[in-house]
Amino acid sequence: MSWSSRLAALLPGTVARDTGGTEPDPRFTFANERTFLAWSRTALALVVAGLGIVQLLPPFPRVPAGRHLLGVPLIALGAVLAVVAYTEWVRNQHALRRGEPLPQSIMPWILAATITGMAVISAIVLLISALG
C-alpha cells in the first residue's frame, strides 16, 4: 500500500464509510474512545510540562540552552502522540469491527523511550550546570 492511500485510509470520512465486519458493541467503541482521550490528555500534559520548563524554570548556570533542550522535545512529542493516538484509534476500531485481535500499540514504547531520553538529557544538563 502506498503512503498516500495509507494516509487516505486514516481520514475520518474514509473511516466512517468502513462497512467491513459488524458494528461493534458500543461498550468497546466507548472504551476505544476513552483510550484515545487518555492519550490525548497525556499529549497535552507533555505540552504543559515542556512549556513550563521553558517558561517558568530559572535558567541553568553554564547551560544557556538547557531549558529549551528539555522543553522543546517534550512539546514536539505531545504533537506526535496526539496524531499517533488517532491512528491507533482507527486501527483498533478496524479490528473491533472485524472481531480481530487488537493490534500491538507502539505508543507505550514511544512514551517510554522519550521519558528515558529526557531523563538522560536532564541528568547531563544538571551535571554540567553543577560541575562545569
Partner 1 sequence: MTTPQAPWPAGGPQRGHEQDEAGDDPEEIAGLARERTSLAWTRTAISFAALGGVVLKANVLTGLIILAVVPVIWHLGRVTRGSVTGTSLSVIGPRRLFIIAVTIAAVALLCLIVAIFGQAVPGALR
Q: Give CA 13 to chain center in angstroms.
A: 23
55 near partner 1 (CB under 8 A): yes
Residue 43 CB contacts under 8 Å (≥ 6 apart), including other chains: 77, 78, 79, 81, 82, 85
82 near partner 1 (CB under 8 A): yes
26 or 101, CB closer to partner 1?
Answer: 26
Report in angstroms how near the CB of residue 125 gets to partner 1 at its nearest: 16
Q: For residue 92, with 0-12 CB atoms within 10 Å meaning exposed, 13-18 middle and 19 or more buried, which class applies? A: buried
Report in angstroms how near the CB of residue 45 gets to partner 1 at its nearest: 7
Report in angstroms how near the CB of residue 25 gets to partner 1 at its nearest: 6
For 61, list phi and psi in degrees, rounded to 5: -65, 140
Q: What is the DSSP letter of 61?
A: T
121 near partner 1 (CB under 8 A): no
Q: What is the DSSP letter of 105?
A: P
User: What is the length of the chain?
Assistant: 132
**Binding residue (CB under 8 A) for partner 1 from 38, 113, 123, 130:** 38
Q: Which residues bind partner 1 (CB under 8 A)?
A: 11-13, 15-16, 18, 22-27, 29-31, 33-34, 36-38, 40-41, 43-45, 47-48, 50-52, 54-59, 67-68, 71-72, 75-76, 78-79, 82-83, 85-86, 89-90, 93, 97
